[in-house]
A and B are shown apart, each in its own frame.
Chain A
């Protein structure tokens, strides 16, 4: 009883397959670069991020454009932009990765639990989610941050607390329909416990959605942090973050475009890098997509 099958190739590990995708590797390299900056910035830059240089401004008080002594130019206080960007990577990574990750985690937990268990647990969780969703996120962030003393970790927490809602909502819907699928019933019929079903059979199917929301969330959270610092409830100056560099300087985008576009590009590249890895990961994890590139 043979059938028309092809010689089986030994399936390689997910990592090995990931490694064969050029774009994913590019993404990993870029993320590595950002992490490198975040950790080693003090050793890589020739100026401190907070040093205000007298020669960093023109006589009229205008910042210097890229090129020359300050490689990427200076900001409105005559500080070296390159150094600020590299140091800013730390804040932005914490926000974009940790806070966003935490939001994703809470959202996934709430959405999946509510969608899988239904019943009163589900109702309570979803009504709470609806409540949180009806609450203007920015206002909540402002109030929470103003009540606690602002610090990077508080801000990260606040961002996580306001950003999980949409993820929860979307995953809830997806989980409810997944939980109805026959193979979940099959697992239950085998006697599989809830934990096993949730982690082995539900979560893997949510990966694509989680990846889409997670990667898009990076920019959103990084910019939300900036909005908060702009309101005085984020990371306090002079600590740089990519977001607050933009916000500090956004009115100057014509006079000193580099102050807005360079940090903007940094955020974009970070988000894209995660997206490249995320997309590749999704395809690698999705067996129906094997055979593509």
Chain B
């Protein structure tokens, strides 16, 4: 329909994908990791979906949908004849059950907050209701969802993994272990799971989308060190290294034309940034924050990570709608930065701390930042800690500066709003929140709400312009130093077929398993 099938594609065969970390769960309400995100996408479907390899929405389990005039009511018509892996036909009841489940606090879903705009969400989250009032089953193939406030991103939310439709009886049968025995409507079903070793996905022969998936099986091998995974790829044992090309091997791979040819490069919805805690003197002085912005040599930092990124000028990555074209950001200007500092009465600089997560290459990047800061007299000592400790310090507001790498924002869905709320808005600037700058600008918050109130698809241009203004406003206050937007580099084995875009799919990371195929 909206995606033209690859004419060279042939069905059959299997591939092997590796990951370093184990897969925690395949429960769509809970899974929120690098490695299970796309697995869940292949096991489950939501009402909405994206065109493979792009950020374009398309209907999923919903055949069609209607949005009311005021943009507050969404009526989804379900596709008939869609079957769960257990053979039962999917109905509107399942949709409602799934949304109730994900928003029920007992589920402890890390994605529950995304559904905050559905009417009745608050009652769910404080435990006074067990069912979302805003989700109605009209008939077995129709679901009506009413919002409590206009939300332009709602269709994206319905495409999130968290909104996947699950089979009630399977959830109830499995109890707490649904994440190990997932039953969905997706292109693949789970055939084998050996804890700590391997998961095997098997083609869902009854899949409702015609022609896909091509592959008979996808085998995930977990616990594989990225370097070793690459060795195995070079040896023909692995088709896709899920964690990408390890930095240590990047130069070697790119230096070998035969291997470089199989490297796929693509953008991703990612920004690496430094948070500057606006409550911690002297970072509470906007000029100091600007000076820091001007002191960071972003080109140098991209060089350190072997040029696998492009320097960033603003919070949003370039491929995100709402990105402000032509905005130069703060220029690299140590002299100017020094002048600004002197103006702020800090000609001699000051002492501060820079928190960073302890996995390569983040400590290295932090050291580069440290050196840049040193040139303008800021003496930052590095606190290189385990992820949990950095998040703790950030949430508590103890960290003057944090380099976001390793925990950085990769968008959940391709919409500018996704970069604002929890990490730049006032809502996140509380104790324990993810807004580590503790930056709170009420005016911008209001503007953000306004922007998301524009639900008319026709007005989306205006909405994006508004978002652009919000981020420009943020840049004015400089609570962040946007450093770079990471490029994704993946490799594939020679036998892998399919459009390159499928390997750097902005949504199905790292690969869209449903649409790739093998050539032999």
Q: Determine the distance from Cα of A233 to Cα of B304 in the docked complex, in whole angstroms.
A: 24
* Contact present for B248 and A237 (CB under 8 Å): no
Residue on B nearest A52 in the bound complex, by CB? B371
Chain A residues, Cβ within 8 Å of B384? 229, 232, 236-237
Chain B residues, Cβ within 8 Å of A153? none
Is A148 in the interface zone, CB < 8 Å from B? no
* Contact present for A238 and B367 (CB under 8 Å): yes
Q: Determine the distance from Cα of A251 to Cα of B246 in the docked complex, in whole angstroms.
A: 9
Interface residues of B in 288-305 (CB under 8 A from A): 300, 303-305
* Contact present for A255 and B305 (CB under 8 Å): no
- How many chain B residues touch A (CB < 8 A): the figure is 32
Interface residues of B in 227-284 (CB under 8 A from A): 227, 246-249, 251-252, 254
| Residue among B360, B368, B384 with max Cβ neighbours from chain A (10 Å) | B384
Chain A residues, Cβ within 8 Å of B383? 150, 232, 236
Q: Determine the distance from Cα of A57 to Cα of B368 in the docked complex, in whole angstroms.
A: 13
Q: Determine the distance from Cα of A43 to Cα of B368 in the docked complex, in whole angstroms.
A: 24
* Contact present for A62 and B300 (CB under 8 Å): no
Chain A residues, Cβ within 8 Å of B364? 76-77, 248
Q: Please pick, from A77, A232, A237, A254, the residue contacting B389 in the complex, using a CB distance under 8 A.
A: A232
Residue on B nearest A229 in the bound complex, by CB? B384
Is A230 in the interface zone, CB < 8 Å from B? yes
Residue on B nearest A50 in the bound complex, by CB? B371
Chain B residues, Cβ within 8 Å of A150? 383
Chain B residues, Cβ within 8 Å of A62? 251, 306
Q: Determine the distance from Cα of A82 to Cα of B254 in the docked complex, in whole angstroms.
A: 28
* Contact present for B252 and A230 (CB under 8 Å): no
* Contact present for A61 and B360 (CB under 8 Å): no
Q: Determine the distance from Cα of A237 to Cα of B354 in the docked complex, in whole angstroms.
A: 11
Q: Determine the distance from Cα of A69 to Cα of B276 in the docked complex, in whole angstroms.
A: 38
Q: Scoring B residues 202 to 227 as 1 if CB is less than 8 Å from chain A, else 0, what string do you get? A: 00000000000000000000000001
Q: Determine the distance from Cα of A60 to Cα of B306 in the docked complex, in whole angstroms.
A: 5
Q: Scoring B residues 341 to 383 as 1 if CB is less than 8 Å from chain A, else 0, what string do you get? A: 0000000000000000110110110111011000000000111
Interface residues of B in 449-473 (CB under 8 A from A): none
Chain A nearest Cβ from B407, distance in angstroms? 13
Chain A residues, Cβ within 8 Å of B252? 254-255
Consensus secondary structure, chain A interface: loop
Chain B residues, Cβ within 8 Å of A77? 304, 364, 367-368
Interface residues of A in 173-206 (CB under 8 A from B): none
Interface residues of A in 62-91 (CB under 8 A from B): 62, 76-77
Chain B nearest Cβ from A61, distance in angstroms? 4
Is A146 in the interface zone, CB < 8 Å from B? yes
Chain A residues, Cβ within 8 Å of B381? 236
Is B141 in the interface zone, CB < 8 Å from A? no
Consensus secondary structure, chain B interface: helix
* Contact present for B385 and A233 (CB under 8 Å): yes
Is B307 in the interface zone, CB < 8 Å from A? yes
* Contact present for B304 and A231 (CB under 8 Å): no
Chain A nearest Cβ from B318, distance in angstroms? 22
* Contact present for A251 and B304 (CB under 8 Å): no
* Contact present for A57 and B367 (CB under 8 Å): no
Chain A nearest Cβ from B491, distance in angstroms? 16
Q: Please pick, from A51, A232, A255, the residue contacting B248 in the complex, using a CB distance under 8 A.
A: A255
Q: Determine the distance from Cα of A52 to Cα of B364 in the docked complex, in whole angstroms.
A: 11
* Contact present for B247 and A251 (CB under 8 Å): yes
Chain B nearest Cβ from A12, distance in angstroms? 52
Q: Determine the distance from Cα of A54 to Cα of B382 in the docked complex, in whole angstroms.
A: 21
* Contact present for B358 and A252 (CB under 8 Å): no
Q: Determine the distance from Cα of A18 to Cα of B359 in the docked complex, in whole angstroms.
A: 46
* Contact present for A61 and B251 (CB under 8 Å): yes
Is B447 in the interface zone, CB < 8 Å from A? no
* Contact present for A248 and B363 (CB under 8 Å): yes
- Tell whether A232 pairs with B385 under 8 Å between CB atoms, given A61-B251, A251-B227, A255-B248: yes
Chain B residues, Cβ within 8 Å of A230? 358
| Residue among B249, B363, B383 with max Cβ neighbours from chain A (10 Å) | B363
Q: Scoring A residues 215 to 228 as 1 if CB is less than 8 Å from chain B, else 0, what string do you get? A: 00000000000000
Q: Determine the distance from Cα of A46 to Cα of B466 in the docked complex, in whole angstroms.
A: 54
Chain B residues, Cβ within 8 Å of A52? 300, 367-368, 371
* Contact present for A237 and B247 (CB under 8 Å): no
A-B CB contact pairs (8 Å), 8 listed:
A61-B305, A146-B385, A146-B389, A232-B385, A232-B389, A237-B382, A248-B360, A251-B247
B interface list, Cβ under 8 A from A? 227, 246-249, 251-252, 254, 300, 303-307, 357-358, 360-361, 363-364, 366-368, 370-371, 381-386, 389
**Which 3 A/B pairs are nearest by Cβ-Cβ distance?**
A232-B358, A251-B248, A232-B385
Task: Add 19 more A-B contacts to A238-B367, A251-B247 (CB < 8 A).
Answer: A52-B371, A60-B306, A60-B307, A61-B251, A61-B303, A61-B304, A61-B305, A62-B306, A76-B304, A77-B367, A146-B386, A150-B383, A231-B358, A232-B358, A237-B363, A237-B384, A248-B364, A255-B248, A255-B249
